[in-house]
Amino acid sequence: MHDSFPRLFEPPRGSYFLFGPRGSGKSTSLRVLHPKAHWIDLLDEGLYQRYLVDPGLFGAEMDAVPRGSTVVVDEVQRLPSLLNVVHQKIESRRLRFALSGSSARKLRRAGVNLLAGRASRRALHPFVPEEVGARFSLEENLEWGALPIVWAAEDRRDALDAYVQMYLKEEIQAEAATRNLAGFARFLPIAGLFHAQALNVSALARDAGVARTTVHGYLEILEDTLFTFQLPAFEARLRVREKRHPKLYWVDPGLVRAVVGDRGPPQADSRGALFEGWIAQLLRAYRDYRGLCDGLAYWAPAESRLTEVDFLLSRGSEHIAIEVKASRRWRPEFAKGLRAIAALRGVKRRMVVYLGSERLRPEKGIEVLPLPDFLTELESGSL
């Protein structure tokens, strides 16, 4: 079972929110991290209804918890009003709260201020290779993804299909943010096809047969429920007309394949996007778990529409440029963007991550790293 794998997430000392997509292992992690905590499970329908009818019950229960204790509130977005009491009890009873959620949208929509800085915000991601160790397989990862709820399933295909049906579509209905569910059903697989591409809202709207404003709303829901994220274009004092669209990524290869309806091992035409998206998610995870970088973007100079570098990690004024290729052979054209980005001030390293077995230095200042070497640097903090 997935709870046998130690997670990289380390909780802060004070109260905190732990956000992550459904099935990312938040509840399991919190039980491991806080074994003696007082536990409030808002997915328990009976408990949820009692608090809904009489909000004062939660405050009375918190008053009965020993002063200075840790309290876990699981899926706190189901009752955002509880955060008013949480705020009060942090102050008056020195309680430490761990508050999990799979939607920041509901909290924001309820006008909650996320405790005015009294609770830090943390993220839990799908499994990374370091967490599963020898069980890691790139091919399995690209086919099924790394969401713990799918990883632990006997039939991963059934689990992925059920995940999309249960969480994605029900989550949207529960959001009550759209009455056009047929439009959303058309939109989902098209949004899946935009995985690892610059976001073209007009094309998305046209292909899904819905208005641009509707697509903006759909994209916001996907991001707020933590199924997708957008990677901005790096801007070094660009003029407004030179701004590029962000790139759209799904948080998990298995999830995007299920949304699109892909079955069987990934085909050659989709492996590049799946591999790039997985690396993007890996970089986000290490940013959140280990402070890998301050900023994460892609780079595309205004003067060339055909030149791009997949990822630009920023640490203060220094940058690391990373190009990702799902190829087993090195080709000089892979470094086109890395050659161009050499002129950007502060670029400390330029590298291609690929699926070959040889570590190369094909030209001055450019490194070619096999995936295992890249993972070793990422895990050791030497990137």
> Using one digit for the tens of pLDDT, what is the confidence trace for 295-322?
999 998 876 666 899 999 999 999 999 9
Q: How many helices (H) and strands (E) does the chain have?
A: 17, 14
**What strands lie across the sheet with 197-198, from one edge to the other?**
197-198, 247-250, 228-231
Exposed/middle/buried for residue 376 (C-beta within 10 Å: 0-12, 13-18, 19+): middle
Spell out the domain ranges in the chain.
2-123, 129-276, 292-380
Q: Which residues are CB-neighbours of 202 under 8 A, at least 6 positions away?
A: 212
**pLDDT value, residue 62:** 97
pLDDT tens, position by position, 10-28: 999 999 999 999 899 999 9
Provide the token pair at 141: 């990862």
Is this model's pTM higher than 0.85 or not?
yes
Alpha-helix residue ranges (DSSP H) falling in the chain: 26-33, 45-53, 56-64, 82-92, 104-109, 129-132, 138-144, 148-151, 156-163, 170-175, 181-193, 201-208, 212-224, 253-260, 268-290, 336-341, 371-380
Q: Which fold has domain 2-123?
A: Rossmann fold (3.40.50)
Q: Cα–Cα–Cα angle for 228, 230, 231, nearest 5°?
A: 135
Helix (H, G, I), strand (E, B) or coil at 257: helix
Phi/psi of residue 350, nearest 5 degrees: -130, 125
pLDDT tens, residue by residue, 180-217: 677 888 899 999 999 999 999 999 999 989 899 989 98
**DSSP three-state, residue 118:** coil
DSSP state string for 42-80: TTSHHHHHHHHH-THHHHHHHHHSPTT-EEEEETGGG-T
CA 275, 23, 129, 8 torsion: positive or negative?
positive
- Side chain identity at residue 180, one-letter code: N
C-alpha closest to that of 140 among 254, 279, 270, 276: 254
Only one residue has tokens 């819905």, namely: 210
Strand pairing of 16-19 and 96-101?
parallel
Match 């003696």 to its residue by tokens: 36
- Quote the CA–CA distance of 368 and 323 in Å, as a whole number: 9
pLDDT digits (tens), the chain, 383 positions = 344 689 999 999 999 999 999 899 999 999 999 999 999 999 999 999 999 999 899 999 999 999 999 999 999 988 988 998 999 999 999 999 999 998 777 776 665 566 667 888 999 999 999 999 999 999 999 999 999 999 989 999 999 999 988 876 666 666 655 556 778 888 999 999 999 999 999 999 999 898 999 899 889 889 988 999 999 999 765 444 456 899 999 999 999 999 999 988 999 889 999 999 999 999 999 999 999 999 999 998 876 666 899 999 999 999 999 999 999 999 999 999 999 999 999 999 999 999 999 999 999 999 999 999 999 999 999 99
- Which pLDDT does position 114 carry in this prediction? 64
Compute, in degrees rounded to 10, the torsion defined by CA atoms 325, 331, 335, 336.
-110
The two tokens of residue 254 are 């298995």
Given a contact cutoff of 8 angstroms between Cβ atoms, the answer to whether 324 and 276 are in contact is: yes
Residue closest to 365 by CA, chosen among 353, 354, 352: 352
Under CATH, which architecture does the 129-276 domain have? Orthogonal Bundle (1.10)
8 A C-beta contact, residue 278 and residue 168: no
Q: How far apart are CA 53 and CA 55, in angstroms?
A: 6
